[in-house]
């Protein structure tokens, strides 16, 4: 083989006879190759697609034609001999056939070709030496053709992933806005994710850690939070939002699966806080489920871990609705641990109708001391002690923390 030219000196006649043999039997070989693929690559036979067999047979004929062209022109196979690889790769990706199965089917087709060339040698024993040279062409056809097929498959897969991601983002935004899908394509996409308007689902919201900056890491996070390959997971702004079907074993199984995934992420150094809603049924319930999940996530106060709405205490629910939740809890816990002077002042102040002077008389302190303590409470909690709503929340927090304290 010199400068890309096949050296068939002395065997040109034999090579041409075998090439003619293949050309005459091209459809038969393609049919046999397809049958062998169906037998040796179960993923193909498992696809309930009426047109797949015809498509595979056509693909085999095209590869055989590329092989014949290289033999007839006494040259190596070229990447340009396989212009239809992208079309077939996209079809396999759409049907969910893996890259490894796609490559195996390609090799099976070429080995069937070689077996048929050997059948031609049996017809014309004088072509034996030429066949030994043709095996080099078959191997090069496998090498160049499989490379072209693999590249086309990966490109098709990336296109599908990007297209699916766009569809998922658009779908999620509509669902969060309370607009269930009416277009058949979107309804089908949700069904393929295991999401149905009459089946319960759980919303999930997770922080998107600053460490998760690359596409690969984002994909890792989304994949980890998907339960058994079902559900919708979308990176949205500074968070990850998922809609997960509950399934026959109830929301507990979903929570357990997500918790295991978060533990796995923690082991890889990806720290994320995850909140899960209660189970809700109906696409119009998704905005409420989303808010539930955000509330549950907020109750973690930035700590990594998983919190389900069903697991939240009354205190968690109370203070998670406040923008200063961490401050409120810290204030109550720390003050009670040091004697509860500020908490006592607050309770007395409320019981005396927000009258600082009466509060001072009851506590046997100067009114300025009461004002100072109230200022300290406001500073520590971020609450306005002159607003009845803030005071009620603070008092409830006090009672609930005391109830939690052994």
**CATH number of the domain where residue 35 is located:** 1.10.490
From 311, 337, 357, give the residue that closes a domain: 311
Domain assignment of residue 152, yes or no = yes
Return d(Cα 102, Cα 225) in angstroms, integer. 28
Residues 301 and 393 in one domain: no
Out of 3-7, 109-113, 219-223, 235-239, the most confident range is 109-113
Q: Give the structural domain span for 366.
A: 320-404
pLDDT of residue 131: 79
The answer to whether residues 120 and 17 touch, using CB atoms and an 8 Å cutoff, is yes
CATH code, domain with 388: 1.10.10.2840
Within 46-84, where are the H helices? 52-72
Say which residue, 402 or 395, is predicted with more confidence.
395
Q: Could you tell me if 341 and 394 lie in one domain?
A: yes
Contacts 24+ apart (CB under 8 A), 348-353: 349/374, 349/385, 350/391, 350/395
What digits encode the pLDDT tens for the residues 257-315?
Answer: 888 888 877 777 778 889 999 899 989 899 999 988 988 888 787 888 888 888 776 55
**Which residues partner with 242 through β-bridges?**
204, 233
Report whether pLDDT(9) > 50.
no
Q: Are residues 276 and 327 in the same domain?
A: no
CB atoms within 10 A of CB 352: 17
Q: Say how many domains are in the chain.
A: 3
Non-local (6+) Cβ contacts of 230 within 8 A are 193, 194, 244, 245, 247
**Does one domain contain both 152 and 249?**
no
Do 40 and 154 reside in the same domain of the chain?
yes
Is residue 115 included in any domain, yes or no?
yes
- Residue 191 inside a domain? The answer is yes
Q: Are residues 298 and 359 in the same domain?
A: no
Last residue of a domain, one of 160, 177, 209: 160
Query: Is pLDDT above 60 for 320?
Result: no
Domain match, 156 and 16 both: yes
Whether residue 73 lies inside any domain: the answer is: yes
The last residue of one of the domains, among 311, 337, 364, is: 311
Residues 114 and 33 in one domain: yes
pLDDT at 240: 86
Is 367 contained in some domain?
Answer: yes
Q: pLDDT tens digits for 130-184?
A: 877 788 888 888 888 888 888 888 877 766 655 566 777 888 888 988 888 887 7
pLDDT of residue 202: 92
User: Is residue 102 a part of any domain in this protein?
Assistant: yes
pLDDT at 1: 41
The reply to whether 302 and 324 lie within a common domain is no
| Whether pLDDT at 362 is above 90 | yes
What's the rounded Cα separation, in Å, for the pair 69 and 100? 27
Q: How high is the pLDDT of residue 7?
A: 45
Mean pLDDT lowest among 210-224, 243-257, 298-312: 210-224
Give the global pTM. 0.46
CATH number for the domain harbouring residue 234: 3.30.70.270
254, 381: one domain: no
Q: Kindly state whether residue 171 falls inside one of the protein's structural domains.
A: no
21 and 151 part of one domain: yes
Q: Do the beta carbons of residue 30 and residue 146 sit within 8 Å?
A: no
Residue 166 forms part of a structural domain: no
Q: How confident is the model at residue 89 (pLDDT cuts 50, 70, 90)?
A: confident
Residue 301 and residue 338 in one domain: no
């Amino acid at each position: 083989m010199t400068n890309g030219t096949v050296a068939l000196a002395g065997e040109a006649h034999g090579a041409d006879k075998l090439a003619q043999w293949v050309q005459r039997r091209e459809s038969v070989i393609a049919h046999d190759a397809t049958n062998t693929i169906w037998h040796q690559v179960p993923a193909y036979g498992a696809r309930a697609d009426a047109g797949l067999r015809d498509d595979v047979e056509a693909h085999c004929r095209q590869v055989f034609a590329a092989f014949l062209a290289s033999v007839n022109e006494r040259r190596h196979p070229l990447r340009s001999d396989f212009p239809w690889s992208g079309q077939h790769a996209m079809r396999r990706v759409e049907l969910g056939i893996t890259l490894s199965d796609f490559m195996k089917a390609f090799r099976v087709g070429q080995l069937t070709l070689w077996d048929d060339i050997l059948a031609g040698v049996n017809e014309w024993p004088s072509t034996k030496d030429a066949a030994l040279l043709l095996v080099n062409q078959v191997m090069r056809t496998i090498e160049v053709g499989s490379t072209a097929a693999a590249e086309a498959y990966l490109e098709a897969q990336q296109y599908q992933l990007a297209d699916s991601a766009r569809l998922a983002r658009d779908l999620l935004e509509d669902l969060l806005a309370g607009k269930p899908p009416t277009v058949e394509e979107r309804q089908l996409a949700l069904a393929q994710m295991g999401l149905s308007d009459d089946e319960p689902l759980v919303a999930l919201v997770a922080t998107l850690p600053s460490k998760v900056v690359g596409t690969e890491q984002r994909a890792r996070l989304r994949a980890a939070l998907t339960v058994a390959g079902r559900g919708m997971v979308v990176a949205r702004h500074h968070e990850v939002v998922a809609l997960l079907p509950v399934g026959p074993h109830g929301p507990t199984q979903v929570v357990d699966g997500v918790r295991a995934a978060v533990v796995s992420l923690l082991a890889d150094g990806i720290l994320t806080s995850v909140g899960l809603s209660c189970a809700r049924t109906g696409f119009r319930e998704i905005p409420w489920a989303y808010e539930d999940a955000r509330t549950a996530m907020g109750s973690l106060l930035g700590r990594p871990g998983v919190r389900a709405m069903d697991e939240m205490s009354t205190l968690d629910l109370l203070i998670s609705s406040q923008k200063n939740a961490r401050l409120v809890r810290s204030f109550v816990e720390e003050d009670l641990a040091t004697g509860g002077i500020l908490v006592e002042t607050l309770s007395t102040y409320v019981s005396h109708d927000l009258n600082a002077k009466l509060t001072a008389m009851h506590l046997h302190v100067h009114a300025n001391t009461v004002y100072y303590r109230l200022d300290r409470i406001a500073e520590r909690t971020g609450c306005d002690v002159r607003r009845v709503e803030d005071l009620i929340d603070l008092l409830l927090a006090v009672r609930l923390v005391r109830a939690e304290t052994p």
